[in-house]
Structure 1
Amino acid sequence: MSSAGNGQDGSPGSPPISALVAGLCEGDPQSEMTLHDLLDAFSERAFGFLILVFALPNGIPAPIAPGLSAVLGLPLVLLAAQMMIGLPHPWMPRAWLARKLKREQVARMLRPSVPVLQRIERYIKPRLHVFAPADASRLLGALLLWNALLLSLPIPFGNLLPAWAIILLALGEMARDGLLVLCGLVMSVLAGFWVGFLLWGGTALIEKLF
């Protein structure tokens, strides 16, 4: 998949991921959108795109509110668990689907990720299918769930590696790019060690102080 010719699923002519993310940021800043709107817009590709959208604010430095990783981590946990058990389409609580966000809020979180995605898209293409088989959504769901749980932990500086593991896995799954999936797997292992180290260091510091 390249940003010029193929979309996120490797099909010719479909818009690149960066264009779809940028589209969420465009329009009247005071207009509102709901999670239901996103599900409708992404249709059968909703799993991959919603996971990507919820992970990007944690993976790309942006002016977001403190503690947002835990807020965005909960939908990621839910989506990843649904992938792992094999649901064909995402399910969200009705209250979540109806919650409204102003477009300017969405743009503030997602716009910094657009140039980064554009650079990544230059190198994305279907390859190494042994690491990205078409029937591996349940295994990918398990990996995504692991990282979503790490991301949800309220640990300072602990969200970046799990977020990037999720981003790489989501992009790799949508583009059938086994190299990205493999990178996401490596990042998942590193994220586990990093969060474990932060937990151990924080516990040791608390014991030393008190």
Structure 2
Amino acid sequence: MHDGLAQRLRQAATRQAAPTQTATPLSLRELLHLHGEGSGAVLLLLMALLSMLPVAGAGTVLSFGILALAGAWLRGRDSLHLPERLSALHLNPRWSQRCLHGLAWTYERAERWLRPRWQALCHHRTRVLWGLWMALMAALIFLPLPLGNVLPGTSLMLLGLGWLFRDGLALLVSTAVGAAGLGYAISVGHLAIAAWQQAGAWLGW
């Protein structure tokens, strides 16, 4: 199934590599259409990937989308009606091509490495815990930290893949990566507070 999806994504990337006058920006809505489904796990995977790209304002907008999806998961729903502003979020042709190739590579590797195991972690009773985890990662993505989107975004991508493939090991790796992202955010926060206090001492505040 995912081999065919990877092929569709690479074909779409080839179209993005066409001359500028024929290439069109790729939106989140079109990415979902290429997948042929709009499940919560797929949407989470896409929003997490886009949140890590160096596109101005994308992380902020997508953090709210991820938070809304987390709320849907907490209510037992596996889908989310995307607001127009979020679904219309688009990339320029160069980043569209890179994103499509990255997704194709991700699915190809996931097909090879991931499989159903430790499925107790994918049970519907764990949805509340994963919904809370998604909300925490969305909060980290929202924070204006240098490279602060990378670890929480990777964690959410692994969460989406783990849920798609019913692979509990991928979910555990997701928590490890996200915990590293949380540690990074706390460390940067401590450094910022220490720098502020030092500046205050120099200025006699």
Identity %: 23
The corresponding residue for 2:203 is none
Q: Which amino acid aligns with 1:172?
A: G
The corresponding residue for 1:52 is 45
The corresponding residue for 1:93 is 83
TM-score (norm 2): 0.76
The corresponding residue for 1:10 is none
Alignment of structure 1 residues 152-167 onto 2, 5 Å: 152-167=142-157
* CA-CA distance at 1:116 after TM superposition: 5.0
Q: Is the 8 A contact 2:27 2:91 kept in 1?
A: yes
- What root-mean-square deviation, in Å, do the aligned CA atoms of Structure 1 and Structure 2 show? 3.0
Deviation sequence 1:97-130 (CA, Å, 0-9, x none):
3556555442244434543553343211111111
Asked if 1:168 is matched to 2:186, the reply is no
Q: Which one is further off, 49-58 or 146-155?
A: 49-58
* CA-CA distance at 1:202 after TM superposition: 1.6
Q: Using the alignment, how far apart are the partners of 1:47 and 1:23 within structure 2?
A: 24
Q: Residue 122 of structure 1: SS of its match in structure 2? A: helix
Q: Using the alignment, how far apart are the partners of 2:103 and 2:188 within structure 1?
A: 26
* CA-CA distance at 1:170 after TM superposition: 0.7
Deviation sequence 1:70-106 (CA, Å, 0-9, x none):
3432322222222222234211223433556555442
The corresponding residue for 2:175 is 185
Structure 1, unaligned stretches of length 5 or more? 1-5, 8-13
**In the superposition, relative to structure 1, how do residues 100 and 122 fare at CA in structure 2: closer, same or farther (>3 Å)?**
closer
Correspondence for 2:112 among 98, 111, 122: 122
* CA-CA distance at 1:163 after TM superposition: 1.2
The corresponding residue for 2:71 is 81
Q: Which amino acid aligns with 1:50?
A: L
Q: Using the alignment, how far apart are the partners of 1:24 and 1:200 within structure 2?
A: 44
The corresponding residue for 1:194 is 184
* CA-CA distance at 1:176 after TM superposition: 0.2
Q: Which amino acid aligns with 1:25?
A: A
Q: Is the 8 A contact 1:47 1:90 kept in 2?
A: yes
Matched residues, number: 195
Q: Which amino acid aligns with 2:109?
A: R
**In the superposition, relative to structure 1, how do residues 88 and 32 fare at CA in structure 2: closer, same or farther (>3 Å)?**
same
* CA-CA distance at 1:160 after TM superposition: 1.8
Q: Which amino acid aligns with 2:13?
A: C
TM-score (norm 1): 0.75
Q: Using the alignment, how far apart are the partners of 1:102 and 1:46 within structure 2?
A: 25
